[in-house]
Chain A
Amino acid sequence: MAHSAPASADIDLEPLRAILNEHFNPENYQDSLELIVQACQEAQHIYGYVPKAATELIAEHLGVTTNRIYGLLTFYADFLTAPPGKHTMLLCHGAACYVGGSQKIVNYLDQQYDVDSGHTTRDGTLTVQYVNGCLGVCDLAPVAQLDHGPYYGHLTVESFEELLESLRNDDGSSEDSDETE
Chain B
Amino acid sequence: MKLSSQQDFQAYAADARKNWDERFGGSRWIISVGVSECSKAKGVQDTLSNLELHLDNSGLDYEIRHVGCAGWCFAEPYIEVSPPDGPPIIYGNVVTDVVPELVQAFKNGQFPTENALGVRSESAFEGIQPLSEHPFMKGQRRLLMERSGVIDPESIEEYIARGGYSAFVRALTEMTPEEIVHEVKESNVRGRGGAGFPAGIKWESGRRTQAWPKYVVANSHEGEPNVFKDRRLIESDPHLVLEGIMIACVALETPHGYNYIGGEHVLALSRFQKAVDQAYELGLLGENVLGTGKSFHMRVRSGGGAYICGEGSALMYAIMGERGQPRTKPPRSVEEGVWRRPTVLNNTETYAAVPSIINNGGAWYADIGTDESKGTKLVTIQGPVKRIGVAEVEMGFSMRELIEEIYGGAKDGYTLKGIQMGGVSAGPLRMDQLDVGIDFESLDEVGAMLGSGGFVAFDESICAVDFARYLTRFNRYESCAKCTPCRLGNKALLEIVDKVRHGQSPADVAALIQGTSDNIIDLSLCGLGQVAPMPLLGMMKAFPEEFEAHFREGRCPQGQCTVSQPHIRLEPVAAD
> What is A's interface to B at a CB cutoff of 8 Å?
30, 32-38, 41, 64, 68, 71-72, 75-79, 90, 93-96, 98-100, 103, 106-107, 110-111, 116-117, 129, 131-141, 143, 145, 148, 151, 153, 178-179
Contacts and interface: CB of A to CB of B under 8 A. Distances in A.
B226 A41 contact: no
B497 to A, nearest CB: 14
A153 B41 contact: yes
Contacts of B571: 106-107, 110
B259 to A, nearest CB: 13
B262 interface: yes
Given A106-B571, A136-B232, A179-B43, 19 more contacts: A33-B321, A34-B301, A38-B302, A64-B321, A75-B324, A95-B382, A95-B383, A95-B454, A95-B470, A96-B456, A98-B225, A98-B470, A99-B384, A116-B576, A131-B264, A134-B228, A137-B73, A145-B41, A153-B41
A179 B321 CA distance: 38
B159 interface: no
B41 A140 contact: yes
B478 A139 contact: no
Contacts of B462: 99
A163 to B, nearest CB: 15
Contacts of A34: 299, 301, 319-321
B156 interface: no
7 contacts: A99-B458, A100-B383, A133-B264, A139-B74, A140-B42, A151-B41, A178-B41
B352 to A, nearest CB: 17
Contact of A71 (B37, B307, B323, B339): B323
A134 B382 contact: yes
A96 B569 CA distance: 24
A133 B452 CA distance: 13
Given A107-B568, A136-B232, A137-B41, A78 B470 contact: no
Contact of A132 (B303, B459, B478): B478
Contacts of A179: 41-43
Nearest to A76: B304
Interface in B517-555: none
B477 interface: yes
Given A34-B319, A103-B470, A153-B41, A41 B223 contact: no
Contacts of B477: 132
Contacts of A79: 304-305
A64 B304 CA distance: 20
A139 B42 contact: yes
B42 to A, nearest CB: 7
B99 interface: no
B163 to A, nearest CB: 27
Contacts of A41: 263, 302, 304
B303 A76 contact: yes
B154 interface: no
A101 to B, nearest CB: 9
Nearest to B228: A136
A139 B388 contact: yes
A133 B223 contact: yes
A20 B145 CA distance: 37
- Which 9 A-B residue pairings sit nearest by Cβ, starting from the closest? A78-B304, A33-B321, A96-B382, A77-B305, A78-B305, A94-B225, A151-B41, A137-B41, A95-B226
Contacts of B73: 137-139
B408 to A, nearest CB: 13
Contacts, number: 156
Nearest to B478: A132
A140 B37 CA distance: 12
B222 interface: yes
Interface string B253-277: 0000000001111100000000000
A72 B38 contact: no
B346 interface: no
A78 B568 contact: no
Interface string B406-435: 000000000000001001000000000000
Contact of B456 (A95, A131, A135, A136): A95
B474 interface: yes
Contact of B306 (A32, A75, A111): A75
Given A78-B264, A111-B569, A132 B305 contact: yes
Interface string B472-504: 001001100000000000000000000000000
Interface residues of B, number: 64
Contacts of A36: 321
Nearest to B477: A132
Contacts of B423: 95
A143 B73 CA distance: 14
A134 B321 contact: no
Nearest to A103: B470
B511 interface: no
A155 B100 CA distance: 29
B237 interface: no
A107 B466 CA distance: 13
Given A76-B306, A99-B383, A134 B41 contact: no
B575 interface: yes
A134 to B, nearest CB: 5
B225 A72 contact: no
A93 B305 CA distance: 12
Contacts of A95: 225-226, 382-383, 420, 423, 454, 456, 470
Contact of B321 (A72, A94, A100): A72
Interface in B294-336: 299, 301-307, 318-324
B384 to A, nearest CB: 7
Contacts of A107: 568, 571
A170 B447 CA distance: 52
B320 A33 contact: yes
Given A132-B478, A138-B228, A77 B301 contact: no
Given A107-B571, A140-B42, A99 B226 contact: no
Nearest to A148: B266
Contacts of A38: 301-302
Contacts of A116: 575-576
B131 to A, nearest CB: 20
A18 to B, nearest CB: 19
Contacts of A153: 41-42
Given A95-B225, A99-B384, A139 B307 contact: no
Given A134-B226, A138-B382, A99 B456 contact: yes
Contact of A141 (B37, B231, B382): B382
Nearest to B73: A139
A136 B382 contact: no
Given A41-B263, A76-B304, A96 B323 contact: no
